Structure 1
Amino acid sequence: MYIWDTLNKTIMVTYRLKTLEAGKVPLEMRVPYVNTGYRKLYQPWEYYLHSLFHLHNETINVWTHLIGCVVIIFQTYTYYRIYADEDAAIKGTVLGFGLCCFITLFNSATAHLLHSKSCHTNFLVFMFDYIGVVSWGYGTAILSLYGVSSKSMYDWLGSNFVVIQIVWTYLNFINICLAKLWYGHDLSLSQRKIMIVVGISIQGLWNFIPFFPRYINCYKSQVCELSSLNHVTIVCVSFAFMTLTFVLHQPERLKPGMFDIVGQSHQIFHVFVILTMTLQFRALYVDFETKSNLHCKPNVTELLFCIFLLNSSCLVTLCYFRERVKRKLDNNNKEK
């Protein structure tokens, strides 16, 4: 712990950007158990753009997702070329899934880079981030049906699955926005955490439907071993670990202030996000190699339209929330 504390103190001394302690920023903008490294408020936009190249408590959060964007573009391009060379229909799956992953990472990087300008900006850009969060959920639905589903569920659900998922995803976006609007940015509040986790879990369970019968069929089969589904199982395990890092606020809960710049749970969460996306790409490829997803034939035009419709609907709703955010902050100021 002494070495880690010394490393963080050295970083704090050597970086150029002058930052604030938690007590000098509004309560709505504080991160639980992060005591230092906050950027100044009400600065020109250039200040926050330039902060990309300085160290503060959001630097790693921004860069993990910016690097993740590059990783996703590379993986989407690489796998698309492989599937296109084989004229495999799932090239549409990887295109739709990759686009949703990119939206997720880009929106999050934008939010973490710009949110410190003001409370109003903080609320709006993180709601913009939530569009990315639910977009990944929708991309996972695309991958689930058009990549790793059982043939029986694929035939039964049809394209209605991803259409219905638009509704689930949109409602989940509203749920997460309301959680922030009602309880602020404090993720340590159990009410807000429950709203977010429950909403995302419901969406996740819905995404589980297309491929779950594969486990049942394999368990009943005399020739199939459950280990043959490890490429799908490991994605579920990674999702579980990712959720735990989001919920537990470790290790900063144990040593508040020690992990302000490097090592806080949200940085670890971001790494798990990229790892999970990578494992999802791999799961699609393993089923391609074993010819387990030959029945998956997505309509690329339909998928791209659904992604556009979902994101457009969320953006319109975000514009509606702008006035509610303003009223919320005005009421908070009056109470003070």
Structure 2
Amino acid sequence: MASDPSLRQRRPSVSESLLTTIKQAEREVEQKLLLLWDDLPSWRRDNAFIRSGYRPIRPSYAESARSLFYLHNESVNIWSHLAGAIVTIVTALYVYVVVRPRYEAANSSDVLVFACFFGSAVVCLGMSATYHALTDHSQEVAKWGNKLDYTGIVALIVGSYVPALYYGFFCHPILMAEYLNLICLLGLGCVIVSWVERFRTPAWRPYRALMFVSLGLSGIIPIGHGLLKFGYQTLEDRMSLSWVVLHGFMYIFGAFLYAIRWPERSNPGAFDIWGHSHQIFHMFVVLAAATHFYGMAKAFDHHHEGMGSQCLS
């Protein structure tokens, strides 16, 4: 029985197939065509020591999303925090579903303080990855993304202190509330400053780093008070003080490299794709968050298994 010609699908000719292949190749080349520092408009010039690897400006969210799958000087910045955000979500779900039920004394307050930490980490890492993915979109989108990126950093710093202060000052709820309010107010002030237009310019890079470091170091006030009131060992047991200090050091060291633009300033162009200061800063942020989580998990264990929740004084 003869087939109906109307149902047949016409095969593309050799010339049509060749033309389609050429167009696809041109599209891939266009997507992967990277720019030099000298090719950039002024609003995209942030670090003169990174000389190449810049994506061309394309006002398309789809094109920005496609750039996740080829290599450029933002690839590590994007994927380090995108992967970090995904791992954080998975870890949070695991803790809530698997770990929490093992502790009969665990309650909604434990869930809330860990939710603050995990939530702030996801906000920080997610906003950071989104901003770096969209820096090639347009000046307006990059500007808003930059502000959200800074807001995410503040959120993570504040969110990290919530479980530490909760467990560290559990037996002194008034002090706990005062210090939580203090860190939240300081964080709000940093967010307001972050949205000032001048703040995001390259000239303000050292001041940005200084502000974030200062916010992190504000924890010295409650920690110092706790040391005087409880002593080192009690604070170590209740809030994993050594791990809190280690995670703070990681933030500060990463921010320091970001501020001085090392190592790229020592050899401009050599660290464009791999190993420049912003990438190192990103890695330290992820490591610091993981370190802080480990410390807070130890504090949680002590609180519920080491009789840490019994207030004797």
Normalised by the length of structure 2, the TM-score is 0.77
Tell me which of 32, 40, 49 is aligned to 1:25.
Answer: 40
Q: After superposition, where does 1:114-125 map in structure 2 within 5 Å? A: 114-125=134-145
**What displacement does 1:140 show?**
1.8
Pair 1:177-2:192 in alignment: no
Q: CA RMSD in A?
A: 2.8
Question: C-alpha offsets along residues 180-223 of structure 1, whole Å, 9 cap, x if unaligned?
Answer: x226542xx3xx134323432342233343333444443599xx
Instruction: Name segments (4+ residues, structure 1) moved above 4 Å.
Output: none
Aligned position for 2:124:
104
Pair 1:39-2:55 in alignment: yes
Aligned position for 1:324:
none
Tell me which of 249, 269, 276 is aligned to 1:237.
Answer: 249
CA distance 1:202–1:264, shift in 2 (3 Å)? closer
CA distance 1:39–1:295, shift in 2 (3 Å)? farther
Aligned position for 1:246:
258
CA distance 1:141–1:184, shift in 2 (3 Å)? closer
Aligned position for 1:265:
277
State the identity as a percent.
25
Aligned position for 1:58:
74
**What displacement does 1:230 show?**
2.7
**What displacement does 1:244 show?**
1.9
**What displacement does 1:286 show?**
1.3
CA distance 1:151–1:183, shift in 2 (3 Å)? closer
Question: C-alpha offsets along residues 5-42 of structure 1, whole Å, 9 cap, x if unaligned?
Answer: xxxxxxxxx99711111111112212311111111114
Aligned position for 1:277:
289
**What displacement does 1:240 show?**
2.5
Letter in 1 for 2:231: C
Unaligned runs of 5+ in 2: 1-28
Tell me which of 182, 196, 218 is aligned to 2:231.
Answer: 218
**What displacement does 1:285 show?**
1.2
CA contact (8 A) 1:144 1:211 kept: no
> Matches of 1:295 and 1:172 in 2, distance apart?
36
CA contact (8 A) 2:131 2:149 kept: yes
> Matches of 2:169 and 2:181 in 1, distance apart?
19
Letter in 2 for 1:107: M
Greater Rg by CA: 2
CA contact (8 A) 1:138 1:166 kept: yes
> Matches of 2:76 and 2:132 in 1, distance apart?
9
Normalised by the length of structure 1, the TM-score is 0.72
> Matches of 2:134 and 2:86 in 1, distance apart?
20
Aligned position for 2:300:
288
> Matches of 2:112 and 2:174 in 1, distance apart?
20
Q: Across the two proteins, how many residue pairs are aligned to each other?
A: 271
Tell me whether 25-34 or 94-103 shows the greater mean CA deviation. Answer: 25-34
Unaligned runs of 5+ in 1: 1-13, 297-336
> Matches of 2:36 and 2:214 in 1, distance apart?
37
